[in-house]
Amino acid sequence: MVHRIWGGMIVASVLFALLTGRVGPVSAAVFDGAKQAVQVALLLLAFMTFWLGILKIAEAAGLLWGLARLLSPLLRLLFPDVPKGHPAEGFILSNLSANFFGLGNAATPMGIKAMKELAKLNPRPGTASRPMITLLALNTASITLVPSTVIGYRAAYGSARPAEIIVPALIASTVGTVVALLVDRLFQRRAGDGPDGEG
Amino acid sequence: MFEALLRLSEGLIPALIAAVLAVGLIRRLPIYETFIDGAREGLVTTVDIVPHLIGMLVAVHMLQASGLLLALIQAGAPFFSAVGVPPEVVPLAFLRPLSGAASSAVMLKLFADHGPDSWLGRLASIMQGSTDTTLYILAVYFGAAGIRRFRYALWVGLIADLTGLAAALWVHRLFFGPAP
């Protein structure tokens, strides 16, 4: 699927550019896109190295384990396929909490670490497992108490009350998350699979 | 109260770091070595992610530069107007799952033109703040985990975006009323 989407985006763009005479900008876009990816990666590198370092200490100190024990019922509900006590649990929860409190820079490394732990549980390497897709759904629709980036921009543009969007955004993202989880479950049923998935 | 919440969020990061290190010290862990071990893993993982980022971002940039994305947005505009989406935020809705930078740019343009506290400025803020860039998350998270077959992940992500955006429109109207 990813092959068709990725190929489709690029081939369709080139064809459209040929038809409308925008070959120049498209040619420039190739290098702009690659350059921007490297800039994003550099930023990601800074967060990833720092936060995975801190996270390793949290793991060694038993803090992630404690977090997982504290919120065990939530994990059972959202991730029934992850065995109780597996290290993935602590990373998943740290990712969800960081998202909730608007710590975007920390949330991504934690989510990636959780995904790598889930990959260890994956019976079919290379194919997304059920808990992986659930984690992805939670991140794309993430419930945020403090959408800090948007609030920062609002303040920068002279808003009188930059934080007034907190409650509406929280409601909207909660609705989005609940629907995402329901859709995720629906797809799981439709795929009709066991813990490891056949779809 | 909200400003206090925001300050709390800002203070949370240093507090979190200090708390983790303090517990590590109390438990007599070699915290510096542990940090370096974890950080090295972060370095290696990021290197794994870079090709995925380049592949995806080049495709998105080409889609934008070719004018195809704009044509799709314009083609979809009548439909969006019919269901009550103001035309000014249609590009934001389209760009949100593809590129955080591009949808941010649309939001900032609305801030500059109408002000962040205007009806449209608030709508753009809520839309931007209640959803995330599905394509980026997909590339980065699955790239790190070596996932090549996404199964139904993309659909779940896109439906999550769509619902989040629809919910943003609804909540915005609830809080700030219909278009002036």
For B49-74, what is the mean pLDDT?
A: 93
Does pLDDT of B53 surpass 60?
Answer: yes
Helix, strand or coil, per DSSP, at residue A127: strand
Structure tokens at B154: 């993309």
Does pLDDT of A196 surpass 50?
Answer: no
Tell me whether residues A150 and B45 touch, CB distance under 8 A.
Answer: no
Q: How confident is the model at residue B43 (pLDDT cuts 50, 70, 90)?
A: very high
Closest by Cα among B24, B8, B100 to A139: B100
For A83-89, what is the mean pLDDT?
A: 93
For B71-78, what is the mean pLDDT?
A: 89
Mutation site for B-interface testing, chosen from A165, A167, A177 by largest number of B Cβ within 10 Å: A165
pLDDT on residue A192: 62
CB-count exposure of residue A120 (10 Å: 0-12, 13-18, 19+): exposed
Does pLDDT of A163 surpass 60?
Answer: yes
Mean pLDDT of chain B: 90
Scanning the structure block, which residue is given the tokens 């989880």?
A181
Domain boundaries, position B133: 48-176
Closest by Cα among B144, B156, B45, B137 to A119: B144
Q: How confident is the model at residue B51 (pLDDT cuts 50, 70, 90)?
A: very high
Q: How confident is the model at residue B100 (pLDDT cuts 50, 70, 90)?
A: confident
Query: How many angstroms separate the CA atoms of A172 and B118, rounded?
Result: 19
**Residues B23/A61, Cβ–Cβ less than 8 Å:** yes
pLDDT in tens, A120-150: 999 999 999 999 999 999 998 878 888 888 9
Tell me whether residues B23 and A63 touch, CB distance under 8 A.
Answer: yes
Query: How many angstroms separate the CA atoms of A64 and A68, rounded?
Result: 6
Query: How many angstroms separate the CA atoms of A99 and A142, rounded?
Result: 7
Q: How many domains is chain B partitioned into structurally?
A: 1
Write out chain B residues lying below 8 Å of A37, CB-based.
Answer: 50, 53-54, 56-58
pLDDT on residue B83: 84
For B119-143, what is the mean pLDDT?
A: 92
Tell me whether residues A183 and B160 touch, CB distance under 8 A.
Answer: yes
Question: Is A115 in CB contact (< 8 Å) with chain B?
Answer: yes
Identify which of B24, B49, B154 has the shortest CB distance to residue A1.
Answer: B154
For A46-53, what is the mean pLDDT?
A: 92
Identify which of B34, B61, B159 has the shortest CB distance to residue A29.
Answer: B61
pLDDT on residue A193: 55
Chain B closest-CA separation from residue A151 CA (Å): 8
pLDDT on residue A170: 92
Identify which of B40, B144, B159 has the shortest CB distance to residue A112.
Answer: B144
Chain A closest-CA separation from residue B32 CA (Å): 9
pLDDT on residue A152: 87
Tell me whether residues A61 and B153 touch, CB distance under 8 A.
Answer: no
Nearest chain B residue to A101, by CA? B9
Write out chain A residues lying below 8 Å of B140, CB-based.
Answer: 44, 108, 112
pLDDT in tens, B17-37: 999 999 999 999 999 999 999
Spans of all domains in chain A: 25-191
- Interface pTM, i.e. ipTM: 0.87
pLDDT on residue B5: 67
Angle CA B119–B120–B122, to nearest 5: 70
Closest by Cα among A117, A129, A136, A123 to A177: A136
For A2-30, what is the mean pLDDT?
A: 93
Is B107 within a domain? yes
Tell me whether residues B151 and A133 touch, CB distance under 8 A.
Answer: yes
Question: Is A159 in CB contact (< 8 Å) with chain B?
Answer: yes
Mutation site for B-interface testing, chosen from A136, A139, A186, A193 by largest number of B Cβ within 10 Å: A136
For B89-110, what is the mean pLDDT?
A: 90
Is B145 within a domain? yes
